[in-house]
DNA sequence: CTCTGTGAAATTTTTCACAGCG
DNA sequence: CGCTGTGAAAAATTTCACAGAG
C-alpha cells in the first residue's frame, strides 16, 4: 500500500505519512509501497499492543458492570483480571468473565495476577480512598472514571475520563453551526 | 490575576496565555492582570456553556444506566431529557431523573423536548439502526459509546468514545517506564 | 512601576519536490 | 517506472521583548 493510499484513507498529506513512518524505521519498498502486515506489527509493538495487560476494576455499580462486560478491552489486549467492590452484597456476582471480590482482597489480587492498572468506577466520594488502596496494593497506573480529582504519589500515572467532555465538543460544533457569528477562529 | 500566574497554574508560557486570551477580545488591565470572573464568563460563552442542551440516551443497559445517573452531565449543562430502549421490559423503569420510554417514541421526544444530541449506549450490533433512527428523528449530533462505526449523513456530527483508548495511553506510559529502549521519540 | 497586547524572532510542524532504490 | 525517504521550503505555532496603558 502506498503512502498516497494511506493518506487518502486517513485524510492527511502523503508526505506526512512517509515522514512519520520513517521515524519508526525503514519499512517501505521504493516503487512498491508499505507492507501493511509488517506496518501493523511494528505499530502494535510500539504502542505496547503485543503485551497483554491485567487490569482490576474497582466498583461494581452500573459503570463497573458496563466496563466488566466491555468487549473492546480484550480486543486491545486488556484483561479484566479482577473486579472488586466494598459491598458484601455484590461479592460473588458474575462480572463478565470473573466474579466480584471484596475490596479488601486487593493486595493479594494485584500481587498474584501481576496487575499494573486499576480502574476506578465508584462514586466520587469513594475515589480518593480507592486510589490510596490501589497505590498501596502496588498498582502503577489508574484510570479514573469517578467525577473527582485524586491525589497519588508522583510515580503513579493517572488519567481522568470525563464523559462530559465529549458532549462538550459536540455542543461546541452545534453552537458553531447555529450561530456562526460566535466563532473564535 | 496575571498571565504569569495563569501560566504557572497551567504549565504553559505566559506569552502564550496572553496571545491566546487576546484572541477572545481585550480583557486584561495593563499593570493589573485579568479579571477571573469576566474571563470565566467569556470562556463559558464561547464554549457554549451558557446554554443548556437536551440529550437523549438510547439503550438502558449497564452503560445507559450509568450515563443516566452521571452527575457530571448536569454540571456542564447537559440535561438527560429522555432515555429510550427497545426492550418493553425496561420501559417505565426509573433512569435517573426520567423514566425509560420505548425507542419508537423517539421522534416525538426529540421534537417536543428540542433534543439535538443523542447518545448511543447499545450493543454494537444495534448501533447503526439506532443511529438511523436518531437521524430520522431529527437529532443533529451523536455520541457513540458502542464499539462500532456508524454511518450518518454529512450534516450530522458523530463522536465515537472508545473506552480502550484511555487504557492504551496508560499502558504506553507503563511500557515506556519499563523498557526505556523501545521509545520512539 | 507592573503587566498587557502584539510585532518580530525563534522554533516546530507540515508540505514540497526530487534523488535514487527496487 | 513508481514510490520511498529526506533535504529544503513553506507554513504554523510559540516565545521573546518591548511600547505603552493604567
Least confident of B54-58, B119-123, B175-179: B175-179
What kind and span of H or E run contains B83?
Answer: strand B78-85
Size of interface A-B (CB pairs under 8 A): 149
Exposure string over B67-92, b if 16+ CB within 10 A, otherwise e = bbbbebbeebbbebbbbbbbeeebbe
What's the mean per-residue pLDDT of chain B? 92
pLDDT tens digits, B18-37: 999 999 887 889 999 999 99
Q: Per-residue pLDDT averaged across B40-53, rounded?
A: 89
The edge-to-edge listing of strands for the beta sheet with B117-120 is B94-95, B98-102, B78-85, B53-58, B117-120, B141-144, B157-160
Interval B98-110 mean pLDDT = 98
Neighbouring-strand partners of residue A33: A29
User: Nine-digit cell at B153?
Assistant: 449523513
pLDDT at B184: 55
Residues 36-55 of B with CB under 7 A from strand C: none
pLDDT of B77 reads 92
pLDDT given at position A17: 95
The verdict on A63 touching B (C-beta cutoff 8 Å) is yes
Q: Please, which contacts does A157-164 make with residues 24 or more away whose CB atoms are closer than 8 Å?
A: A157/B170, A157/B173, A157/B174, A158/A131, A159/B166, A159/B169, A159/B170, A161/B163, A161/B166, A162/B72, A163/B67, A163/B70, A163/B72, A163/B73, A163/B161, A164/B70, A164/B72, A164/B73, A164/B75, A164/B76, A164/B78
Q: For B43-67, what is the mean pLDDT?
A: 93
User: Grid coordinates representing B41?
Assistant: 464568563
* pLDDT value for A88: 97
State the 10-residue block means of pLDDT for chain A, 185 residues long. Answer: 94 95 88 93 88 96 94 90 97 94 98 97 96 98 94 94 89 81 54
Q: Within an 8 Å CB–CB cutoff, is residue B156 touching chain A?
A: no
Find residue A102's DSSP bridge partners.
Answer: A85
Highest mean pLDDT: which range of A41-55, B12-26, B42-56, B79-93? B79-93
What does the radius of gyration of chain A's CA atoms come to, in whole angstroms?
21
Interface of A with B in 66-125 (CB under 8 A): 66-67, 69-73, 75-78, 116-117, 119, 124
Q: Is B131 left (phi over 0), alpha (psi -120 to 50) or beta?
A: alpha
CA A4 to chain centre: 31
| pLDDT at B134 > cutoff 90 | yes
Alpha-carbon Rg for chain B, nearest whole angstrom, is: 21
Alpha helices per DSSP H over chain A: 3-10, 14-22, 36-47, 62-68, 71-75, 106-113, 124-137, 163-178
The DSSP element (H or E) to which A160 belongs, if any, is strand A157-160
Question: For chain C, which bases have at least one atom within 7 A of a protein Cβ?
Answer: 1-7, 14-17, 20-22
Distance CA A8, CA B87 (A): 41
Segment holding B62, helix H or strand E: helix B62-68
- Return the pLDDT at B175: 87
- Residues of chain B with C-beta less than 8 angstroms from the C-beta of A164: 70, 72-73, 75-76, 78
Amino acid at each position: 500500500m502506498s503512502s498516497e493510499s494511506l493518506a487518502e484513507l486517513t485524510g492527511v498529506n502523503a508526505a506526512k505519512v512517509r515522514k512519520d513512518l520513517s521515524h519508526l524505521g525503514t519499512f517501505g519498498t521504493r516503487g512498491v509501497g508499505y507492507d501493511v502486515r509488517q506496518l501493523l506489527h511494528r505499530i502494535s509493538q510500539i504502542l505496547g499492543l503485543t503485551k497483554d495487560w491485567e487490569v482490576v476494576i474497582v466498583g461494581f455499580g452500573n459503570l463497573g458492570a458496563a466496563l466488566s462486560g466491555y468487549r473492546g478491552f480484550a480486543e486491545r489486549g486488556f484483561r479484566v483480571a479482577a473486579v472488586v467492590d466494598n459491598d458484601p452484597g455484590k461479592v460473588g456476582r458474575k462480572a463478565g468473565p470473573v466474579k466480584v471480590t471484596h475490596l479488601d482482597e486487593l493486595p493479594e489480587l494485584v500481587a498474584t495476577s501481576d496487575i499494573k492498572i486499576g480502574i476506578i468506577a465508584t462514586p466520587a466520594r469513594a475515589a480518593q480512598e480507592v486510589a490510596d488502596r490501589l497505590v498501596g496494593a502496588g498498582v502503577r497506573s489508574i484510570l479514573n472514571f469517578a467525577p473527582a480529582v485524586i491525589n497519588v504519589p508522583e510515580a503513579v500515572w493517572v488519567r481522568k475520563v470525563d464523559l462530559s467532555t465529549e458532549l462538550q465538543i459536540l455542543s461546541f460544533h452545534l453552537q458553531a453551526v447555529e450561530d456562526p457569528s460566535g466563532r473564535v477562529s
